[in-house]
Amino acid sequence: MLMNRVETALVNSPPRRWLQRYETRLLVELGGRTPGAQVAEIGCGPGYGTRLILDRFGAARVDAVDLDPAMITRAQRRLRRHAGRARLAQGSATDLRSAFRSFDGGQDASYDAVFDFAIIHHIPNWRDALAEIARVLTPGGRFYFDEVTATALARPSYRLLLDHPTEDRFTAGEFLAELPRHGLVVGERWRTRIGGDYLLGVATRDTD
């Protein structure tokens, strides 16, 4: 689901960039860095998170997807100095093989890590997105997530200003409970913020 104008402006704002730096520090504490890793990012937006994955997490390469072609254009501009290390594509997080077909990405067990900087709550069939993330992760690969829960989405400010799917939204507990159904093991590597409005964590793809 595409973001409306208000959320698009927020995503492209300096406060959002500051918040992503904070989220990055917490995700590193929970799951460590990814030096030399082949990484996928869903919902890359204007590419600021992609740059953090390369610079702060130390990934060797990021294949990033976004549903909005305008965001891909913004990300391409931001990531010019990372030419060759960031490959961008317009498409759906629920079908990475199709989204990345131009460079043969999104294959089974092809990424050491997948990053979600607050995009899965925009996806109506969010369980399909988790299944797709599990599919492309290598055994032992890590899923870094930073999500907005149904608790936040029910608040008047979210309902009045922002557009999100209205059915089948997840609480922090429901999101965490869904992860092992896709072979993603989170254990105690998760945290909530602001009364459960926001959920951050790192899950590992099981090796069975």
Number of domains in the chain: 1
CA dihedral defined by 36, 87, 19, 149, rounded to 10 degrees?
-100
Contact 143, 171 (CB under 8 A): no
Beta bridge partners of 111: 137
pTM score:
0.94
pLDDT truncated to tens, each residue of the chain (208 aa)? 677 676 777 777 777 788 889 999 999 999 999 999 999 999 999 999 999 999 999 999 999 999 999 999 999 999 999 988 999 999 999 999 999 999 999 999 999 999 999 999 999 999 999 999 999 999 999 999 999 999 998 888 887 777 778 889 999 999 999 999 999 999 999 999 988 999 999 999 998 7
CATH of the domain at 169: 3.40.50.150
pLDDT, position 11: 76
Q: Residue 114 is part of which domain span? A: 5-205
Buried b (16+ CB within 10 A) or exposed e, 125-143: ebbebbbbbbbbbbeebbb
Take residue 182 and report the two structure tokens written for it.
């896709």
